[in-house]
Amino acid sequence: MSAESKFKITTKVRVALLAKSEISDIVGERIFPVVAPKETKGDFIIYQRDEYSKDYTKMGICEQSCRVYVNAISEDYDRSQELAFQINEALEGKHIDLGMDVKLVDSTEDFEDNKYIQVLLFDIK
């Protein structure tokens, strides 16, 4: 995979999330980079690249990796958990068609503005 495509890995994350019907049934197209528009109603997902790094050898780049946060946001706690579960199911593993290998490295939850937030951190190579 080229350096450019790893740098834009969040675009591929969004594609993988939209491809899973269990996710699109809950959020439709409401999957946003970094922040959702203020007027967003219902359940939604936001994603953000937290890190992009390269490992080098004398021959050049030998590996690229990214860390991406994906947040499931809902007014209902159980739905937020189900959405987080489906996000993990959609992303974790090898995606040969998208050129990414995804592992969940951390997960936490929060509550803000009367919404439950499930925070998942993925390592992508």
Confidence of residue 61 (pLDDT cuts 50, 70, 90): low
Query: Cβ of 72: how many Cβ atoms within 10 Å?
Result: 27
* 5 has a pLDDT exceeding 60: no
pLDDT tens column, 21-60: 999 999 999 999 999 998 899 999 999 998 776 666 777 6
Q: Which CATH class is domain 3-124?
A: alpha beta
Query: pTM for this structure?
Result: 0.86
* 76 has a pLDDT exceeding 60: yes
CA 53 to chain centre: 17
Domain-wise residue ranges, the chain:
3-124
Alpha helices in 33-114 (DSSP H): 77-91
